[in-house]
Amino acid sequence: MRSRNKLTLFGVVIVGLLGLAALFAPLIAPYDPASIDIESALLGPSSQHIFGTDYLGRDVFSRMVYGSRISLSIGFIAVGIAVCIGIVIGSIAGYYGGKTDTVLMRFVDIMLCFPSFFLILAVVAVLEPNITNIMIVIGITSWMGVARLIRAEILSLKEREFILAARAIGASDLRIIVFHLIPNAIAPVLVSAVLGVAAAVLVESALSFLGLGVQPPTPSWGNILMEGKASLGVCWWLMLFPGLAIFITVLGYNLLGEGLREHFSPHK
């Protein structure tokens, strides 16, 4: 248990530091991330450029700090969209049951049949690849797990005494769902949301690496990786540092999510 607590604390530290870096990017970044200096192109890590420079002479550390804003904001907003959709569909299915539940959950099953990343690729290929579209596309293809979680919780809660009492005093279905069921069913959704941020950051990075995500010159960890792949054999820092940033971010959110799951588990 003590080892688990240490890992959770490590995840909290990582997530906290990433949040501070994104929030205070203008104060942390030593250079303008869009500033081009051809004479300083492809310089290795040094005291002036601790993560080196790219092929246009832009400071990689500054671009990564600003890129954390883009990657994390996409992760949070995409997960927010997914959680909102999942809560609405899952709560309706769980509360009303019967044919409503059958129809909605079969729709969830159909959505789960499609490999989510290839579905995202298909939608992004049709739409213009920009930050807003990426947030929306990741969000509307990632809500199915949340819907299943909230439905399962509401199925076990809706026959409890406090819900029967709310019905007895004349509370409407909407009031029961919003004020009684969802607040008591939200714990596993919070865990899913934290883990979902890590998944969304990974998806955004993959899309940007493929050229279908955040478009240059706006920095994101994925497109910094994309720009560095052409010179991987010479400029190792262009792939190493963004890759480490993605790895550490996903690790931090996964550790935090597992810690929350352990905390909320009734069998701990």
In tens, the pLDDT along 122-157 reads 877 787 778 888 888 889 988 999 999 999 999 989
Place of tokens 């298909």: 122
Question: pLDDT value at position 28?
Answer: 93
Query: What are the pLDDT digits (tens) for 20-71?
Result: 999 999 999 999 998 888 888 888 899 899 999 988 889 999 999 999 998 8
pTM for the model stands at 0.89
CA dist list (Å): 152 to 44, 168, 175: 53, 24, 19
Query: Can you list the domains of the chain with their CATH numbers?
Result: 63-254 (1.10.3720.10)
Show the tokens assigned to 189.
């959704």
Question: pLDDT value at position 234?
Answer: 79
Closest Cα partner for 260 from 188, 208, 210?
Answer: 188
